[in-house]
C-alpha cells in the first residue's frame, strides 16, 4: 500500500490496549495504526501483571467500585468520568473474552477474582500474573485480522502538523526516512511517562513521547504532577525494575523490615504504602515482601514473578523478597473531554497518555486496563464518524530528540516519592536549556513545574515542605508555553536568590 493511499484516514499512534481497542471499534472506517515497535512488543499494556478491575463478583456492585475509585483519587476524580468508565467494567470483561482473552476461572466456571489495595471487594479478573500480555496479544491478533486497519510497525510519529489550530497531518519516521501522513484526525495512545525515571517499572520507550507530540502542537495537559509509584518493585540492580504485583499482597504477603517487623498496612492505597516504604528506606532500614505464607501456591498463581525472583536468586516460598518503590503510572496526561477530545481540533487521546479524570490524584489498582480499553473503544467510535481530511498547509517538521540519559537521574533525585521546593527548582533549572529540543526534557520539565506549583500533599504527590492537604485544590492545567514561561520564572528566582 502506498503512502498516498493512507492520506485522509484517521491515524492511531500506539499499539497498546487503548490503540488496539480504538482501531477495532472504528470499523468499518479505514484507519492507520502506527507503532514504534511491533504489535507483539513494546506496549506497556503487555507488562501489566495484576489484572483488570470490574464489579463482576456476587458480592460486588458497580457503585462500590465507583466509591473505591473516588476514595483512592483523593478528591480530584471527575465523577462523570468515573461513573462512565467504571460502569462499563462487566461489559469490558465480556468484550475481551469475545476477542479471545481467557480469564482464570474455578472448576465451576466462576471467575477467580483477586484482591488489591484499596478495593473493598475481590474484583480483579486475571490471567494468572500476565493479564496484560494475554489481553493485548488477543487484541493484536484481532487487529491483524481486521481488513480496515493498516498497521505500520517500526514507525515513529515524530511531529504533528497543524493548520489554523487543527490537526493537518502526522510526520512519521520509518527506516531512516521521514514522511507526512496527511490527516485531520489523530488519536494518541502512546502510554505514559514512568520511563523518564531511572527507578521505573515501565518499558524503556514510555517517556511521554505522545505527550510531547501533543504539547508541541499546543494541546493542554492536566494533572502532570501525579505520578504513581508502585510500592513493590524488586530491589535489583537492573532497569526497568520487575514488579512484585499488588496481587501478591492480596494473597497474604506482608511487608517487613530486616528485623521481621511489619510497619504498614499492605492493602492501603498505593500512595500510602509507597510513602511508608520510602520513609523506612530513608531511615536506614531494608524492606522485604514476605510471601512465605503463600507457600508452594506462589509458583502456580504468579509464575512470571516466581521466575523473576528465581533469576535473582530468591525462592519466594522460603525467602522474603527485597522491594523498593518504582515509578509506575502517570495519572496526568493530555487533557481530554468525555469523548477523548483534546483542546486541539482533530486530536484525541486515550489510555495512559490521556487524563480523563478517572484516577484523580492516585490510581486505584487495576483500573488502568479497564480505562485503556474503554477510552480506546470510545475514541474509535469517534474516529469512525470523524471528518478526517488533512492539509498540505503547515507541514514544517521540527523533530526533537526523544530522550537524553541525564533526565532519569535528575527525576529520581528530585521528583520521586517525596518532593520539596528547592529540589524541584533545581530540577527545573537543569531542564530548561534542554526542553526546547528534547522531548524527554520537555515532559520532565512540565511535570516538575506542575509539582512545584502544587503546594500541598495529595494522593501520589507528596511535598515534604507542604505536608497538608489543601481543601480548595483543583486539577491543574498546563500548556507547553505556559510551562516554559513558568520554568524561566522559577529559574530566574533561583539565580537571584
Decide: 190 and 403 in contact? Cβ < 8 Å. Answer: no
What residues are paired with 125 via a beta bridge? 52
DSSP assignments along 117-180, one per residue: TT-SS--EE-STT-HHHHHHHHHHHHHHT-TTEEEE-S-EEEEEEEETTEEEEEEEEETTEEEE
Residues annotated as catalytic (active site), given as ranges: 270
DSSP state for residue 195 in the 8-state scheme: G
DSSP assignments along 318-345, one per residue: TSPEEEEEEEEEES-EEE--TT-B-SSB
Q: Whole-angstrom distance between the N-terminal and C-terminal Cα of the chain?
A: 60
| All three cell numbers of 493 | 528566582
| All three cell numbers of 315 | 525462592
Q: What are phi and psi of 408, to 5 degrees?
A: -60, -40
Q: Under DSSP, is residue 13 helix (H, G, I), strand (E, B) or coil?
A: strand
Tell me how far apart the alpha carbons of residues 246 and 250 are, in angstroms, rounded to a whole number.
Answer: 6
Tell me how far apart the alpha carbons of residues 495 and 497 are, in angstroms, rounded to a whole number.
Answer: 5
- How wide is the angle at C-alpha 116 spanned by C-alphas 110 and 119, nearest 5°? 90
Decide: 14 and 46 in contact? Cβ < 8 Å. Answer: no
Decide: 479 and 220 in contact? Cβ < 8 Å. Answer: yes
Q: What are phi and psi of 453, to 5 degrees?
A: -90, -10
Tell me how far apart the alpha carbons of residues 230 and 44 are, in angstroms, rounded to a whole number.
Answer: 14
Number of Cβ within a 10 Å radius of residue 305: 25
Tell me how far apart the alpha carbons of residues 413 and 457 are, in angstroms, rounded to a whole number.
Answer: 18
> What would you report as the CA-atom Rg of the chain, rounded to the nearest whole angstrom?
22
Tell me how far apart the alpha carbons of residues 315 and 308 are, in angstroms, rounded to a whole number.
Answer: 10
Note the helical H segments in 87-162.
Answer: 89-98, 131-144
Amino acid at each position: 500500500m502506498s503512502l498516498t493511499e493512507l492520506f485522509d484516514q484517521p491515524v492511531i499512534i500506539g499499539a497498546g490496549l487503548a490503540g488496539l481497542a480504538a482501531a477495532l471499534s472504528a470499523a468499518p472506517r479505514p484507519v492507520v495504526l502506527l507503532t514504534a515497535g511491533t504489535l507483539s512488543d513494546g506496549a506497556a499494556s503487555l507488562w501489566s501483571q495484576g489484572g483488570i478491575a470490574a464489579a463482576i463478583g456476587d458480592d460486588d456492585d458497580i457503585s462500590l467500585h465507583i466509591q473505591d475509585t473516588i476514595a483512592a483519587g483523593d478528591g480530584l476524580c471527575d465523577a462523570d468520568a468515573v461513573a462512565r468508565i467504571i460502569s462499563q467494567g462487566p461489559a469490558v470483561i465480556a468484550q475481551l473474552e469475545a476477542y479471545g482473552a481467557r480469564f482464570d476461572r474455578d472448576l465451576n466456571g466462576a471467575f477467580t477474582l483477586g484482591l488489591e489495595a484499596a478495593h473493598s471487594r475481590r474484583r480483579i479478573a486475571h490471567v494468572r500474573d500476565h493479564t496484560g500480555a494475554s489481553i493485548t496479544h488477543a487484541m493484536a491478533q484481532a487487529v491483524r485480522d481486521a481488513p480496515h486497519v493498516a498497521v505500520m510497525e517500526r514507525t515513529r510519529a515524530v511531529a504533528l502538523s497543524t493548520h489554523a489550530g487543527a490537526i493537518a497531518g502526522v510526520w512519521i519516521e520509518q527506516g531512516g526516512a521521514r514522511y507526512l501522513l496527511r490527516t485531520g484526525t489523530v488519536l494518541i495512545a502512546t502510554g505514559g511517562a514512568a520511563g523518564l525515571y531511572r527507578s521505573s517499572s515501565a518499558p524503556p520507550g514510555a517517556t511521554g513521547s505522545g505527550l510531547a507530540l501533543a504539547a508541541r502542537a499546543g494541546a493542554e495537559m492536566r494533572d502532570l504532577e501525579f505520578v504513581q509509584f508502585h510500592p513493590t518493585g524488586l530491589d535489583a540492580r537492573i532497569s526497568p525494575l520487575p514488579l512484585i504485583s499488588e496481587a501478591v499482597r492480596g494473597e497474604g504477603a506482608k511487608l517487613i523490615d530486616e528485623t521481621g517487623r511489619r510497619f504498614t498496612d499492605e492493602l492501603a492505597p498505593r500512595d500510602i504504602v509507597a510513602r511508608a516504604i520510602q520513609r523506612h528506606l530513608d531511615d536506614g532500614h531494608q524492606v522485604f515482601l514476605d510471601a512465605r505464607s503463600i507457600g508452594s501456591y506462589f509458583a502456580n498463581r504468579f509464575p512470571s514473578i516466581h521466575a523473576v525472583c528465581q533469576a535473582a536468586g530468591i525462592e519466594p516460598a522460603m525467602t522474603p523478597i527485597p522491594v523498593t518503590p518504582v515509578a509506575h503510572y502517570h495519572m496526568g496526561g493530555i487533557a481530554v473531554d468525555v469523548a477523548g477530545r483534546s483542546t486541539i481540533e482533530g486530536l484525541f487521546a486515550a489510555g495512559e497518555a490521556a487524563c480523563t479524570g478517572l484516577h484523580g490524584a492516585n490510581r486505584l489498582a487495576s483500573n488502568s486496563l479497564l480505562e485503556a480499553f474503554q477510552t480506546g473503544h470510545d475514541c474509535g467510535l469517534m474516529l469512525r464518524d470523524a471528518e478526517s481530511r488533512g492539509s498540505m498547509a503547515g507541514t514544517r517538521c521540527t523533530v526533537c530528540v526523544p530522550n537524553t540519559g541525564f533526565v532519569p537521574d535528575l527525576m529520581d533525585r528530585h521528583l520521586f516519592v517525596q518532593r520539596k521546593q528547592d529540589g524541584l527548582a533545581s530540577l527545573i533549572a537543569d531542564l530548561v536549556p534542554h526542553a526546547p529540543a528534547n522531548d524527554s526534557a520537555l515532559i520532565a520539565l512540565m511535570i516538575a513545574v506542575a509539582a512545584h506549583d502544587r503546594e500541598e500533599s495529595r494522593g501520589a504527590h507528596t511535598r515534604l515542605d507542604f505536608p497538608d492537604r489543601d481543601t480548595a485544590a483543583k486539577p491543574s492545567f498546563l500548556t507547553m508555553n505556559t510551562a516554559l514561561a513558568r520554568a524561566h520564572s522559577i529559574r530566574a528566582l533561583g539565580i537571584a536568590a
